[in-house]
Structure 1
Amino acid sequence: MYTAGIDIGTTSICVVVTNIQDGSIIRIASRANDSEIPATEFWERTQNGDRIVELVNALLAECQEDWTNVDAIGIACQMHGVLYVDKEGQAVSPLFTWQDGRGDLHYASGQTYAATLNDRTGYPVNTGFGLVTHFYMTQQDEIPMGAVKLCTIGDYVAMKLCGEAAPFMDRTNAASIGLYSLETGRFDNEKLSAAGMDASFLPELATDRQLIGETADGKKVVCAIGDNQASFLGAVPTFESNLLVNVGTGSQVSVYSPSFMQSPMLETRPFIDGGYLLVGASLSGGKSYEVLEQFFRSVLGAFAEAEENRLYEAMNRLAEEAMTEAVPPLRVGTQFYGTREHPEATGFIQGIRADNFNAKQLTAGFLHGILDELVGCTQQFPTHIVDKLARLVASGNGLRKNAAMQHIAQLKWQLPLTFGKVEEEAAFGAAIHAAVVTGYFRNYEEALQRMQRSDSHEA
């Protein structure tokens, strides 16, 4: 018997079909997420939700040879972003992604919309959070005509797969859009209404209904979960003693806590087993490395007619070579997109000397800068959790495909670095989640023992 996992990422979408008995991968299908809508304002970051549904359906069609044995479908999705749907369940807005910056625009008070909502409700929220976007849309009177609910893109895809008209939202995604109480497990409707928003737009929480419905061909569809939680589930051999380091478009570090706790500068996110993930998230990651790639590309275009393909491979090689040079390193701050707490923050380069201002040291400096933010997040984790960490588990192509970054990570954390058995961790985690929700395993511990039992490999 198989389960399938769908991961709806910002830049790519993937489907994994796995055998429940041993977690072996039957098929992987992926495509670039080409649903981005051209921005008319510099702060806009939106995608076409219906195009994403088309891409998902196309990927499922690629899996048809193995589809007969699939019993259930799990979904992981990019977090924080939302779209609006009408009473028939049709999208009436684009997907406002986690990168959307309208929450950083200034409200009448002079503060940003995000800061204003924070002050009015007491909940820590950042631009890109779905209810910050909803607050902006409410204040600007821009909520689309016919909209009755908002939901994540994972909720929308689940609806479409089942032919449902109303979205259901898992707590992992509910917490990511803001104004969600971890203590009560509910949205704070009172604070939301006091801030001037209509709470009726919130979807029903899937507290007692993890199964959304069935596809036309009888496959059970499980409520979508956040891609951070899915990646953790799909990468680690056990919940405790593992630090998940993810470098993708953004980057983050995550550790598991069986009980609720909070720590400054960290997010406490609900996990799928009733526990929590403590997460340090950075807006820097692959997007910051892309800044350097674009710089090198512009240099090539300005000064030479040279092969411009495979620049990342050349950059990775330069960084590895830089690590063998006995020169003072450059210090690079990679906050080119700000930080969640300080969106106005900027990047920097320090320590420039005649012997280190070159492509090698600049590339290595960027990699150090990306990881330094995550090391700073790790230092905020409770001591009793940090002291038990036994390994780093790498996730995301930004880290998987960069040997120099892997080496730097091991030096910074002083822990062995391993990879999960499947590159598409979030999709695999969604498939494991579906196997537990549909009753094939009694709990997640049993599921990991069976489906993650193939040894992960060290970097």
Structure 2
Amino acid sequence: MVHIGLDIGTTHIVMTVLDLEQGRLLPAISLANPQFQTGEPYAHAQDPHAIEQAVRTLLGTISSPIASICVTGQVHGILYHDASGSAVSPLYTWLDRRAMEKVDGIDSQQLLYEKTGALLPSGYGLLAHYANRRLNNVPPHATGFCGILEYITGRLVGCVIEKSDPSCLGPFGSFDPITSTFDERVLTEVFGTQEKRFLLASKPFELAGYTSDGVAVTYPVGDNQAGFFGLVSDWPHSALVSMGTSGQISLFSTNTQCPSSMELRPFLGQGYLHVGATLTAGKAYETVHHFIASIIRSAGVEISDEAVFDLMKREGSANGIPGSLTVDTRFNGSRKNPNVRGAISSIQMDNLTLGNLVVGTIDGIVAELYQFGLDSRQVFQQIERVVATGSSVRKNPLFVEALHRNFKLPTTIAQVDDGAGFGAALIGAVATGALSIPQAKSVVGSMIGS
């Protein structure tokens, strides 16, 4: 029997299949998860019905008996559902910016802060619902809302689930990771006259139910925690650096004292992750790619996107001088300050070159993550190795070099298709009793080498 991890990402839906009997991971299978156009300029949305169909298509490719399914992936965003549990709205993702739209002269983020003292980052679920209420954008047939992970889990077990792992509840906003409760003042303001009962915290590794075929389904787990569980075996001495569309650094600790620049996130009942998260990483690199491509194409030269990426890698390797240009890669703001923007500085008469721009951008991406480590100095000083994941570090040696320059620690590149999906599959194995937690860590050490 196999254990399935489903990673519902921002760009792809990935299925990871773990065969414990054979001690192997099958090649991950993925389907695209495109953006859904709502006509709202501030929206970043996706189609939950299409996501569900993609999940069922992926599961339909499995010929072996399935022992467990665990859903992980993108958090923060919300969708609305009816009494039967069917979606009646798009999924408003973590990149959605409706909370920054002004109504009666003030945006929803600022108003919620003035009313409750809680400053929720743009894209967080409770803030998105608050904004939708003010924008008159709550569907009339909606009986509740949840994240995409709760939605897909509920569709798999055939009911609206009333709980979720604390790793998924935190990104809704105003959730205390120590007590596993939401701030009642915020819930009252966000829900208004509506009933303010919301999702409850599940126990670690708790089952949400079973599919119609009798397959065990766990409550969903956030991709950050699932990725750490799947990629790190020595929790106290390893920093997990993830580079996807955004970037994250995760440090394990049993200490609840976390720097204000970082988030304290619950970790499967074992302790906490101190997490520093950026809004751009691969997206910042992609922005520079678009800029370079536009210059080449404006000269009348036809060039593919892949060729531009190859050019950037080549020029960065051959002619990029670390430290020559300083690039602040907060091109889309930060979680704490969505209105801040990036910059290129230290420009001289002879250093504004393609190679320097590429290396400076990559150093800027990594430096933003390294700064979080410095902020969490008490935990960070215990770190002996960096475990890096994401297509950027697997495909582009310039990112690996930047990690070495900034962290000055041994670095392991996780050669696995989807770390969060692998971690989710392991979580399902633990939830069904196929593995203990120490055994799961041993599996990670043998398969990932971390």
TM-score, normalised to structure 2, is 0.94
Deviations 1:421-451 (A, max 9, x none): 5231000000011111112223x23311134
1:102 aligns with 2:98: yes
Counterpart-to-counterpart distance in 2, 1:191 and 1:397 = 38
How many residues align? The count is 448
User: How far 1:208 sits from its partner (Å)?
Assistant: 8.0
Show the counterpart of 1:362.
Answer: 357
Show the counterpart of 2:267.
Answer: 271
Structure 1: gaps spanning 5 or more residues: none
User: How far 1:141 sits from its partner (Å)?
Assistant: 3.0
What aligned pairs does 1:387-402 form with structure 2 within 5 A after superposition? 387-402=381-396
Closer, same or farther: CA 22–123 of 1 in aligned 2, 3 Å: farther
Closer, same or farther: CA 294–213 of 1 in aligned 2, 3 Å: same
Choose 363-372 or 90-99, whichever is displaced more.
Answer: 363-372
Contact persistence 2:28–2:417 (CA under 8 A) = no
Show the counterpart of 1:418.
Answer: 412
Q: Which amino acid aligns with 1:188?
A: D
Show the counterpart of 2:251.
Answer: 255
Show the counterpart of 2:17.
Answer: 17
Show the counterpart of 1:446.
Answer: 439
Show the counterpart of 1:321.
Answer: 318
Counterpart-to-counterpart distance in 1, 2:268 and 2:278 = 22
Q: Which amino acid aligns with 1:295?
A: F
Show the counterpart of 2:158.
Answer: 163
SS, match of residue 379 in structure 1: helix
Counterpart-to-counterpart distance in 1, 2:439 and 2:117 = 39
What aligned pairs does 1:20-419 form with structure 2 within 5 A after superposition? 20-21=20-21, 23-34=23-34, 36-62=35-61, 64-65=62-63, 67-68=64-65, 70-108=66-104, 110-195=105-190, 197=192, 198-200=194-196, 202-207=198-203, 210-310=206-306, 311-323=308-320, 325=321, 329-383=324-378, 385-419=379-413
Contact persistence 1:89–1:167 (CA under 8 A) = no
Counterpart-to-counterpart distance in 1, 2:270 and 2:238 = 18
Q: Which amino acid aligns with 2:424?
A: A
Closer, same or farther: CA 320–170 of 1 in aligned 2, 3 Å: same
Closer, same or farther: CA 409–199 of 1 in aligned 2, 3 Å: farther
SS, match of residue 246 in structure 1: strand
Counterpart-to-counterpart distance in 1, 2:173 and 2:46 = 20
Closer, same or farther: CA 420–21 of 1 in aligned 2, 3 Å: farther
Q: Which amino acid aligns with 1:16?
A: T
User: How far 1:59 sits from its partner (Å)?
Assistant: 1.5
User: How far 1:419 sits from its partner (Å)?
Assistant: 2.2
Show the counterpart of 2:2.
Answer: 2
SS, match of residue 37 in structure 1: coil
Superposed CA RMSD? 2.0
Counterpart-to-counterpart distance in 2, 1:445 and 1:208 = 15
Q: Which amino acid aligns with 2:446?
A: R
Counterpart-to-counterpart distance in 2, 1:401 and 1:301 = 25
User: How far 1:361 sits from its partner (Å)?
Assistant: 1.0
Counterpart-to-counterpart distance in 2, 1:209 and 1:456 = 24
Counterpart-to-counterpart distance in 2, 1:328 and 1:126 = 31
Choose 46-55 or 216-225, whichever is displaced more.
Answer: 216-225
Q: Which amino acid aligns with 1:46?
A: A
Structure 2: gaps spanning 5 or more residues: none
Closer, same or farther: CA 355–381 of 1 in aligned 2, 3 Å: same
SS, match of residue 453 in structure 1: helix
Closer, same or farther: CA 21–209 of 1 in aligned 2, 3 Å: closer
Contact persistence 1:149–1:201 (CA under 8 A) = no
Counterpart-to-counterpart distance in 1, 2:323 and 2:175 = 46
Counterpart-to-counterpart distance in 2, 1:252 and 1:348 = 21
SS, match of residue 393 in structure 2: helix
Counterpart-to-counterpart distance in 1, 2:135 and 2:36 = 21
Contact persistence 1:85–1:93 (CA under 8 A) = yes
SS, match of residue 225 in structure 1: coil
User: How far 1:121 sits from its partner (Å)?
Assistant: 2.8
SS, match of residue 214 in structure 2: coil
TM-score, normalised to structure 1, is 0.92
User: How far 1:26 sits from its partner (Å)?
Assistant: 2.6
Matched-pair identity in %: 30
Counterpart-to-counterpart distance in 2, 1:148 and 1:13 = 27
Q: Which amino acid aligns with 2:225?
A: Q
